[in-house]
Amino acid sequence: MSPAARVLFASLLLVPAAAPSARADGGWSLAPSGGGRPSVYAEGAPGAVLQDTVSVTNRGGRAVTVRLSGRGVPVTFARSRVRVPARTRADVPFTLAAGADRTGSIVARDGDGRTHTVPVRLRVGGPALSALTVEHVAVRRDGISYELVNRGTTTLVPRLAVHADGLFGPVLDRAPRTLPVHLAPGRRVRLTEPWPGRPALDAVDVRLTVTAPGGAHDTAGVPARFVPWGAVAATAAVAAAGAVLLLLRRRGRRTADGGPPGSPRTEVESTGAVT
């Protein structure tokens, strides 16, 4: 066989091998709209809503239905479920919320489990702002509950300090410690600070101080009153029982003395003479 024939024969062998690969790929693809972009890049000010479009192209001979989702990025699609007829392209708009710098992807999955992804890079412009608030502080049976809210543009790892003053001085004083929380911009988290051994009878002012790198700082407090209602109820029951017992004793003494005071007494005296 001549060298030219060998090359032609090898080329013919490669053609059937490529066809099953296309069929295994489902005959459809996912890409940023507009062509020529390997990924989606979006940039905006903190809090901005950024818009873009992805295209699902079906080169196969039958319709395909795919579901779109975001991985690692806050993406919202105009349609999360898209049916694309044969040899047709569907353009799907979506929005990204600019809260912080993010890297993720848009994922499309068909009914057979095949997936395609498009990388996404989200960048937040403007100066970095570190800000947070501590809200809804409340003293409960299981501890001190509160909420942390990231009001800035950077992810925060907050630190918490707790202090409480009672009628006779401090009853709780915990130095600042790092919380096991990575709070993304715009996110809110509810936490509970345990408080074992809290006062049984006291009036307390609780204060939470939260800080984070970059100058974030906030303080919030709440008053709390501790009353041992079980002991109060037991004391009231004993007092009531004592009052009833005392009343019964007084009535018993009056009966032993000949009846209650003020009751009329009738006496008959015989003189031995009849007129």
Percent of the chain having pLDDT more than 90?
A: 58
Report the alpha-carbon distance of residue 34 to residue 137 in Å, rounded.
50
Is the Cβ–Cβ distance between 72 and 99 less than 8 Å? no
pLDDT digits (tens, 9 = 90+) for 173-203: 999 999 999 998 888 999 999 999 889 899 9
* pLDDT-derived band at 264, boundaries 50, 70, 90: very low
Report the alpha-carbon distance of residue 23 to residue 25 in Å, rounded.
5
Q: Model pTM?
A: 0.48
In this predicted structure, which of 134-143, 201-210, 230-239 has the lowest mean pLDDT? Answer: 230-239
Tokens matching residue 113: 């489990």
Which CA distances in Å does 82 have to 78, 177, 259?
Answer: 10, 48, 98
- The SS3 assignment for 260 reads coil
pLDDT of residue 10: 33
Amino acid 49 reads V
pLDDT digits (tens, 9 = 90+) for 18-51: 333 333 345 999 999 987 889 999 988 877 899 9
pLDDT digits (tens, 9 = 90+) for 225-251: 998 755 444 554 555 666 666 666 676
Percent of the chain having pLDDT more than 70?
A: 73
pLDDT of residue 140: 92
Residue for token pair 């790092």: 178
Q: How far is residue 216 CA from its own chain's centroid?
A: 20
pLDDT of residue 21: 31
Is the Cβ–Cβ distance between 25 and 114 less than 8 Å? yes
**Residue 247 phi, psi dihedral angles, 5° rounding:** -65, -40
Q: What is the average per-residue pLDDT within 162-170?
A: 95
pLDDT of residue 58: 96
* pLDDT-derived band at 273, boundaries 50, 70, 90: very low
Q: Which residues does residue 173 pair with via DSSP β-bridges, in sequence order? A: 163
